[in-house]
Amino acid sequence: MICGPDLSQHTSTVTSANIYMGLGIDNSWSQEQFEEDFSIHINSIDEHDIEFDMRHVDPSIANAVRRILISEVPTMAIEHVFFVNNTSIITEEVLAHRLGLVPIKVDPALFEDKTNECSPNERNTVVLKLKVDCKRQGEEIINEKVYSGQLQWLPEGSEMPEETTCRFARSQAGAIPGGVDLVHDNILLAKMRPGQSIELEAHCIKGVGSEHAKWSPVGTAWYRLHPELEVLQAITGLMADEIVALCPGLFVMEGSGEQRQAKVTSARGNEMQLEKVRRLLSEEEWAKYLQLRKRKEHFIFTIQSTGALAPETLFMRAVDKLADKCDTLLGRL
């Protein structure tokens, strides 16, 4: 794809098998060729983020993975909140909504989907409890602010099964490796004054982002195309001085005197400077020297996890989900 100052050219991908037949080139899909060419290279990874290069793949595949990450990889989130007492200024509806957006760190693969016909049990529900009293102790106010870290996991299940209809046949303590935790302990849920209190039970179930954003496992997932800056003819003399001064880091000077030339270092590492180059391409004198391109089959993919699952785990589950969709389609042909 060629990026011009006002519009881009060659943005579409070619999918027809016969489009290059006149040149003697077979453009049909080859599984063997795909397996040979396709590659993934991880550039950076930590607890919440991963960036990797995905090469030699159709944009439809990259976009499908992105969409699945956002809306179809399941997580656990608070769905039902049962209030025992709430004398704080924040209303039950608002507090329940805030609780639903708190990311829960537990593997959803350990749980079943809960349907309306199913009663809450240890196989489809995680129970959390919040009981906080605000009081004055000398000059200090205890529990003036209520944080997500004050939610407690109840592995034995609901403490009020008659009201919640949630009954566990056995404890979850040994069935969930690592137990249930909050991704962030410092999310502010409410503020109280002395004499006020909040007591509630929150029930988490399995869901996907297409139903509600609280189940989306990513803050966001996106990709950009790999950029390339092509020098069409040597940039020398005063023009070399100008482009090096205008785009430091993207261009460096080689040689000296009349032999000095501006050379491109790395388009990938200087993407902000590429926007300056794109503006320059509107000037006729620069358009014959430089061409900004982006590779349509090379994607720089970024996944930002909410922390409920590791980013690499999210990617693998998105790919598994895509494979399941392909199997379903093939089965219906």
Give dist(CA 263, CA 233) in Å, integer.
11
Q: pLDDT at residue 15 above 80?
A: no
| Total Cβ atoms within 10 A of residue 295 | 13
Mean pLDDT for all residues in the chain: 93
Q: How confident is the model at residue 259 (pLDDT cuts 50, 70, 90)?
A: confident
Q: What is the pLDDT of residues 132-191, one digit of tens each?
A: 999 999 889 999 999 999 999 999 999 999 999 999 999 999 899 989 999 999 999 999
**pLDDT for the residue 326:** 93
H helices within 101-179, ranges in order?
A: 161-164
Task: Identify the residue with better confidence: 237 or 15.
Answer: 237
What would the mean pLDDT of 61-79 be, rounded to a whole number?
97
**pLDDT for the residue 1:** 87
Q: What is the pLDDT of residues 275-299, one digit of tens each?
A: 889 888 888 888 888 999 999 999 9
Query: If we measure between CA atoms, which residue out of 327, 112, 278, 283 comes closest to residue 204?
Result: 112
**pLDDT for the residue 91:** 95
| Token pair belonging to 311 | 């980013």
Phi-psi region of 206 (alpha: psi -120 to 50; beta: other; left: phi over 0): beta
**pLDDT for the residue 10:** 81
| Strand 140-142 with 39-45, pairing | unpaired
What would the mean pLDDT of 229-253 be, rounded to a whole number?
90
Give dist(CA 4, CA 27) in Å, integer.
28
209 with 71: CB under 8 angstroms? Answer: yes
CA distances from 99 to 122, 151, 172, 314 (A): 21, 10, 22, 23
Q: How confident is the model at residue 325 (pLDDT cuts 50, 70, 90)?
A: very high
Q: How many helices (H) and strands (E) does the chain have?
A: 8, 18
pTM score:
0.88
Q: What is the pLDDT of residues 91-143, one digit of tens each?
A: 999 999 999 999 999 999 999 999 888 999 999 999 999 999 999 998 899 99
**pLDDT for the residue 313:** 97
Q: pLDDT at residue 89 above 90?
A: yes
Q: What is the pLDDT of residues 16-43, one digit of tens each?
A: 777 777 788 777 878 888 899 999 999 9
**pLDDT for the residue 224:** 94
**pLDDT for the residue 29:** 79
**pLDDT for the residue 225:** 94
Beta strands of the chain (E only): which ranges?
2-3, 8-9, 39-45, 49-55, 75-86, 104-105, 126-133, 135-137, 140-142, 145-147, 152-153, 181-182, 188-191, 197-207, 218-231, 251-254, 261-264, 290-305
DSSP 164: H
Q: Give the residues across from 42 on adjacent strands.
A: 52
Give dist(CA 133, CA 199) in Å, integer.
8
What would the mean pLDDT of 251-261 be, rounded to a whole number?
86
Please name each of the domains of the chain with its CATH number. Answer: 2-72+220-300 (3.30.1360.10), 75-215 (2.170.120.12)
Q: At what angle do helices 311-332 and 59-71 cross, to 10 degrees?
A: 110
6 phi, psi to nearest 5 deg: -115, -30
| Token pair belonging to 233 | 């003819």
What would the mean pLDDT of 307-313 be, rounded to a whole number?
96
**pLDDT for the residue 312:** 97
Q: pLDDT at residue 260 above 80?
A: yes
| Token pair belonging to 270 | 């200087």
